[in-house]
Amino acid sequence: MFNSKSEVRKQILAARSGLTEVELSSKSDIICEKIINSGVFAGAGLVLCYMDFKNEVKTGGIIRGALSSGKRIGLPLVYKDGMDRRLLAYEIKDPDNDVRKGTLGILEPCSERLYKINAGEIDLVIVPGVAFDIHRQRVGYGAGLYDRFLQNLRPGCMKVAIAFDIQIMDMVPAETHDIKMDAIITETRMI
Ligand SMILES: Nc1ncnc2c1ncn2[C@@H]1O[C@H](COP(=O)(O)OP(=O)(O)OP(=O)(O)O)[C@@H](O)[C@H]1O
Ligand SMILES: [Mg+2]
């Protein structure tokens, strides 16, 4: 392997931080539309979607689209217990009032008064990440949070990553614990 994961993260995050607000918004709109118009989305009753921060693909369109078409929507929360960190999922009904700032300033569900979703209930996960490749391998931020969460999904639950074109590489470093995506959607491609 030519690049380590940390080199890949550095390189792609630098490129992504160079996108302007107009580029981020217009590309995110295209990506959200593609998700909302997909058969996988149409068939999903419960969607787990991340809340974007910094220059990630903006997910507001997906969350609003899911709620307005009567779907259940869950958001992840980083649960910390000593050294143990993992993702939990909670169902929200109101994207303005059911969230608050959590780890790193990312909006998280108000867990104490919301329904805790079991991983096995989810039909579609919208997965964030730093870098992806044409084999649908994924490099995230380096905590293994999504790798551990995604391994508990029911068989048949779809794992769809969304990313900008600049986040797609020919090949990213992959380890045995890295969970492959079922699809990756960018503003111009579907992988
Ligand atoms: N299924 C797993 N079980 C136990 N540990 C894991 C598992 N998946 C990942 N890890 C641990 O997490 C660490 C980080 O993994 P990795 O570099 O793949 O992160 P990442 O995919 O970038 O992060 P994330 O999934 O949070 O976006 C690894 O060193 C590994 O030890
Ligand atoms: Mg990984």
Read off the pLDDT of residues 27-63 as tens digits, 9 standing for 90 and up.
999 999 999 999 999 999 999 999 999 999 999 999 9
Closest Cα to atom 27 of ligand 1: 140
Out of 13, 148, 177, mutate this one to test ligand 1's pocket (max ligand atoms within 8 Å of CB): namely 177
Q: Calculate how far, in angstroms, residue 69's C-alpha sits from the geometric centre of ligand 2.
A: 32
**Cα 99–chain centre separation:** 17
Residue of the nearest CA to atom 6 in ligand 1? 144
Domain boundaries, the chain: 5-71+124-185
Ligand 1 binding pocket includes 146 (Cβ within 6 Å) = yes
Which residue, judged by its Cα, is nearest atom 10 of ligand 1? 144
What stretch of H or E contains 32? helix 21-36
Work out the angle at residue 118's Cα, subtended by the Cα atoms of residues 135 and 99, and round it to the nearest 5 degrees.
90
- The predicted-structure confidence for 118-177, as pLDDT tens digits, reads as follows 999 999 999 999 999 999 999 999 999 999 999 999 999 999 999 999 999 999 999 999
Regarding the beta carbon of 141 and ligand 1, being less than 6 Å apart is answered yes
Pocket test of ligand 1: the residue of 77, 78, 126, 147 to mutate, having most ligand atoms within 8 Å of its CB, is 147
> Do 128 and 54 touch, CB atoms closer than 8 A?
no
Gap from CA of 176 to ligand 1 centroid (Å): 10
| Ligand 1 neighbourhood includes 147 CB (under 6 angstroms) | yes
Residue 53's alpha-carbon distances to 57, 58, 122, 130, 184, in angstroms, are 8, 8, 23, 12, 19
pLDDT band, very low/low/confident/very high, at 85 (cuts 50, 70, 90): very high
Among all bound ligands, the one having the nearest atom to the CA of 5 is 1
Backbone φ and ψ for 129, nearest 5 degrees, come out as: 180, 175
Q: Cβ(55)–Cβ(16) under 8 Å?
A: yes
Tokens of 24: 């981020």
User: Quick one: which of 58, 98, 102 has its CA closest to 80?
Assistant: 102
pLDDT band at 2 (very low <50, low <70, confident <90, very high): low
What is the value of pTM for the model shown? 0.96
CATH architecture for the domain at 5-71+124-185: 3-Layer(aba) Sandwich (3.40)
Helix axes 60-68, 21-36, angle to 10 degrees: 30
